Amino acid sequence: MPTAASWTELRRSVDDVGALLAFRASAVRRPSAFRLAALAFVVLTAAAATLPALLPGAGSGSGYALDALLLLPTAMLGLLVLAVASAVASGGGRELLAREHAVAFPVSPTTDHLGALLLAPLNIAWVLQTWVLLAAAAYGVPRGQLAPAQLGLLVWVAVATAVGQLVAWSVEAVRRTRHGVAVVRLAGAVVALAAVVLQVSGRIGTLLDELGATRWLVVSYVDGFGLRWLGAMALELTLLVAAVALGALPAHLAARRAARDELRVESGRHPARRLPRTALGVLVRTDRGSVWRAVPMRRGIAVLAVGPGLVALAGDLDWAQLTILPGLVASGGALLFGVNAWCLDERGGLWRESLPVGAGTVFAARAWVLAEFLLIASAITLALAALRAGAPGPAELTALLCTWLVVVLQVVSAAMRWSWKRPFAVDLRSARATPAPPVVMVACSVELAVVTTLTGLVFSGLARVPHAEVSLLVAAPFVVWSLVRLLHARDRWVDPVVRARVVTTVAG
């Protein structure tokens, strides 16, 4: 453990974070594309913060502009909840240095904490939520007060991110105690149940109104560059500094304790069962075990499957609106491992290549397990959402089922294509690991989110058409196109040169 003074450790941690960021940047495969992506992120953020103010009725204090302004405090709370949930699910935030590399090049928990804070924006959910928040403020706030409001919101985004990681490190420290896993699961179930009860009872609006902190901040934002705005900024900056500083304490505490979830998986015993009759069955069972026994997969599917389902349950969505959910869950599920599906094998990929099994069978098993994973996750979401949606009509049910099939095939075909085209060596044993570098994850998530959302909107409109066969006719070309792309990805995997490149990469 470091014995230096705290400020000395902080200075050393900042230097270490700078060195790790430089190392990450030097390892980017296409620097020009990275710079272009960074520029696009800045341009889109600036556009979200300014362009809505040019729309008719923006900042008028009436109509939709007034609604956007009134909902701004709730949106700020939503961003805070998202930051907490995302960081808790990933065990404290994403890793700037992988656990396997940290064995040879150890860094302090403070460095890990600061690095995870810097990687927080490389999350499509965080980015979209931030853009929506800035766009709502640009449309609802009068133009004369837009600059102070957007500055205040940007600081609030940083505060929510830091507070989310503080809570996540605290939860991770508790999770690593003797009975911590059970305590965290019980607490999560109680929070989810309380949220549903509040929504069903109609009291959640009253509760949000009573939480006046964000409402006071919004009032201070629209007051312009005055004393109230300075007071709000001073409060936010104080919270930001406190959250960043305090976050290092539970990070150190968690680092002193063993990760019980991960150790239980690595040291667990699994009795041998009778082998399936076919090679495909054996491969499917092996891949299925690799997925469902991995800690990030289990935590990820719990958040992806239950979270949107509870939101839909609380929001009382109808069947036409539920068509958006399968694409949302499938996109998030693919980001857990599907965008780099062969990384599950790691060094075992060399051994698997020596087995007397055709390459096409190996591909089929991996694609089947990925599709199965996405179908189960989205099925849980739809089951929760359907509890308050009532009985569906034939057209609504057909449109939802068609959406479910289409988006899963879209995601599987895209993920298997990316898996051979852009393989990475990743250790997915850590709960904080991702199957690809952060920038690649953002690019994949953006593409998946756009495609699946547009598909969901198409079938949402078809759900209101009284003829169920229309959804089947529209779904047919989507299915055929996804299957063709999946077969193309299979052909590339069967190519021994491509397969050798992929296997040697993920085994590195």
C-alpha–C-alpha distance, residues 481 and 318, integer Å: 29
Domain residue spans of the chain = 43-264, 279-506
Residue 1: the pLDDT is 45
Residue found by looking up tokens 């491992």 in the block: 337
User: Quick one: tokens of 93?
Assistant: 């935030």
C-alpha–C-alpha distance, residues 112 and 87, integer Å: 13
Residue among 332, 459, 313, 445 at smallest CA distance from 390: 313
| Cβ-Cβ contacts under 8 Å for 102 (sequence gap 6 or more) | none
C-alpha–C-alpha distance, residues 72 and 69, integer Å: 5
**For residues 331-336, average pLDDT:** 85
Chain Cα centroid distance, residue 365: 25
DSSP assigned state of 179: T
pLDDT digits (tens, 9 = 90+) for 71-99: 888 888 888 888 888 888 777 777 777 77
C-alpha–C-alpha distance, residues 331 and 407, integer Å: 9
Residue among 507, 244, 177 at smallest CA distance from 353: 507
C-alpha–C-alpha distance, residues 430 and 86, integer Å: 16
Residue 122 and residue 194 in contact, taking contact as beta carbons nearer than 8 Å = no
Residue 497: the pLDDT is 92
pLDDT at 335 over 70: yes
Residue 438 and residue 96 in contact, taking contact as beta carbons nearer than 8 Å = no
Residue 408: the pLDDT is 93
* DSSP-based helix, strand, coil % in the chain, nearest 5: 75, 0, 25
User: Quick one: tokens of 77?
Assistant: 């709370």
pLDDT band at 482 (very low <50, low <70, confident <90, very high): very high
Q: Which amino acid is at 285?
A: R
| Cβ-Cβ contacts under 8 Å for 410 (sequence gap 6 or more) | 330, 451, 452, 455, 478, 482
DSSP assigned state of 340: G
pLDDT at 142 over 80: yes
Residue 120 and residue 83 in contact, taking contact as beta carbons nearer than 8 Å = yes
**For residues 27-52, average pLDDT:** 80
pLDDT at 100 over 80: no
Distances, alpha carbon 82 to alpha carbons 165, 175, 308, 361, 404, in Å: 11, 20, 12, 40, 25
pLDDT at 209 over 70: no
C-alpha–C-alpha distance, residues 381 and 465, integer Å: 24
| Portion of the chain with pLDDT greater than 90, in percent | 18
pLDDT at 429 over 90: no
C-alpha–C-alpha distance, residues 490 and 366, integer Å: 11
Residue 372: the pLDDT is 92
Host H or E run for residue 39: helix 31-50
Question: Three-class SS of residue 388?
Answer: coil
Residue found by looking up tokens 């929504």 in the block: 199
| Cβ-Cβ contacts under 8 Å for 296 (sequence gap 6 or more) | 90, 336, 337, 428, 430, 431, 432, 433
User: Quick one: tokens of 173?
Assistant: 């420290």
Distances, alpha carbon 76 to alpha carbons 73, 154, 158, in Å: 5, 11, 11
Which of 163-167, 209-213, 260-264, 487-491 is least confident?
Answer: 209-213
Which of 216-230, 313-327, 347-361, 457-471 is least confident?
Answer: 313-327
pTM beyond 0.85: the answer is: no
C-alpha–C-alpha distance, residues 37 and 53, integer Å: 25
Residue 478: the pLDDT is 93
Residue 254 and residue 176 in contact, taking contact as beta carbons nearer than 8 Å = yes
pLDDT band at 495 (very low <50, low <70, confident <90, very high): very high
C-alpha–C-alpha distance, residues 190 and 184, integer Å: 10
Residue found by looking up tokens 């919270």 in the block: 239
| Residue 344 CB neighbour total at 10 angstroms | 24
Residue 472 and residue 335 in contact, taking contact as beta carbons nearer than 8 Å = no
Q: For residue 461, how many C-alpha atoms fall within 13 Å in the half-sphere facing its CB?
A: 6
pLDDT band at 145 (very low <50, low <70, confident <90, very high): confident
| Residue 185 CB neighbour total at 10 angstroms | 12
Residue among 331, 503, 332 at smallest CA distance from 423: 503
- Report which of residues 194 and 396 the model is more confident about: 396
Residue 456 and residue 475 in contact, taking contact as beta carbons nearer than 8 Å = no
